[in-house]
Amino acid sequence: MTAFLKRFHEHATPLRYIALAVVVAVVAIALFAPLFAPHDPIAQDVANKLRPIGTPGHPLGTDQFGRDSLSRLIYGARIEIVVALGATLFACTFGTFLGLMGGYFGRLIETVTMRLTDVILAFPPIILALLIVTIYGSGVMTLIVVMGLLFAPNFARITYGQVVGVKHAEYVEAAKAMGAPTHRILLRVVLPNIMSPIAVQMSLTLASAILLESGLSFLGLGVVPPTASWGLMVAEGQRFMASNPDLLLAPAIAVVATILSFSVLGDALRDWLDPRSRKAARPKAAALAEVRA
C-alpha cells in the first residue's frame, strides 16, 4: 500500500486526488449502503411524495411515490458498482481469452476469434441489448452479460496486439524449450507481461460501463423497478423536472462525477504503468528534492 501511494503521488495532481476521493466514497457507500441509507429505498409513503430538498427526515426530498431520494441514491451506487464491475470482469475475461488464443496460435484460431469480435462490434449496442433483453428479460445479470459482450472486443484487440508482439520473445521461447505446457506459458509467462494495457482498459471500461448502465436503465432496458438505479432515477425524475428538478439533478450529478473520476484515475493508471512516464518522473522528483535541500 505504501508503494502504491508513493507511485500514485509521483503522477498525482489535485484533480486526481479529487477523483480518487470520489471513487473511494462511491465504493464505500456501495459496500455499506445499509449503514448510510436512512430509509428503505423502495418503501413508499404516498402522503409525503415529491417533498423538496431539506425536508426533515428526507435531506434530498422524496420522489413521486414518497420514497426517500437519498436512500435510493445510496443504494443506486451499489447497483452501479456491481453492474460496472461485473461487466468489466466478464468483458476482461472473455476478451482476454479471445485475444490470447488468436494472438498466440494464429492462423485459423486467429481468424475465428478476431472475426467473432468483429461480429460483436457490428451490432449497435441498443439493438444487442434489445435482443438479449427480449430473450432473457431485464435485470442485473442481463445487464452484466450485455455490457460484458459489448466491451469484450476492446480487451480482445488489445490482448491480441500485445500477444503478437511478445509471443516470440526470449522468455517465451525459453519456456517452450523447457517443455512448459501451453496453458502455463499463456497464463504464467505471456499474460503477466501484457497486463499493463489490460489494467488501463479495465479502469476505462468501468467508467464506460457506468455510463452504459445508466443509459440502458433510462431507456427501460436495464434495472427493473422499483430497484434503485441512477439511470432509472434520472428517467423518473425527468417527468418532474419543472417542479422538482432535484429528482433529476442528484442522480445525474452522481453519474457524471463517478464517470469522470474513473476516467481520471484511468489516465493516472496509464501514466503509472508507462515506463516512459516513470523515467520522466524520477528526474523531476530528484530535482524537487535538490530544491528543497
C-beta separation of 247 from 52 below 8 A: no
pLDDT value for 292 = 44
Cell numbers that stand for 251 in this block: 442522480
What pLDDT, on a 0 to 100 scale, did the predictor assign at position 122? 84
Which pTM was predicted? 0.85
Give CA separation, 289 vs 9, 13, 237, 292, in Å.
14, 18, 52, 5
In this model, does residue 258 exceed pLDDT 70? yes
Q: What is the per-residue pLDDT across 112-135, written as a single tens digit (0 to 9) for each? A: 999 889 888 887 777 877 788 778
Does a cis peptide bond (omega within 30 degrees of 0) precede residue 56?
A: no
DSSP 3-state assignment of 201?
helix
Q: Residue 256, CB half-sphere, CA atoms under 13 Å: how many?
A: 7
CB 219 within 8 A of CB 43: no
Q: What is the pLDDT of residues 6-49, one digit of tens each?
A: 665 666 688 888 999 999 999 999 999 999 999 999 999 888 89
DSSP three-state, residue 241: coil
The percent of residues in the chain predicted with pLDDT above 90, rounded, is 43
* Long-range pairs, 241-245, Cβ under 8 A, ≥24: 243/50, 244/50, 244/52, 244/61
Q: Taking all residues of the chain, what is their mean pLDDT, rounded to a whole number?
A: 85
pLDDT tens readout for residues 91-110: 999 999 999 999 999 888 88
Residue 86's pLDDT is 95
Coil vs helix vs strand at 32: coil
Q: How confident is the model at residue 69 (pLDDT cuts 50, 70, 90)?
A: very high
Model confidence at 281: pLDDT above 80: no
Q: How much is the pLDDT for 255?
A: 94
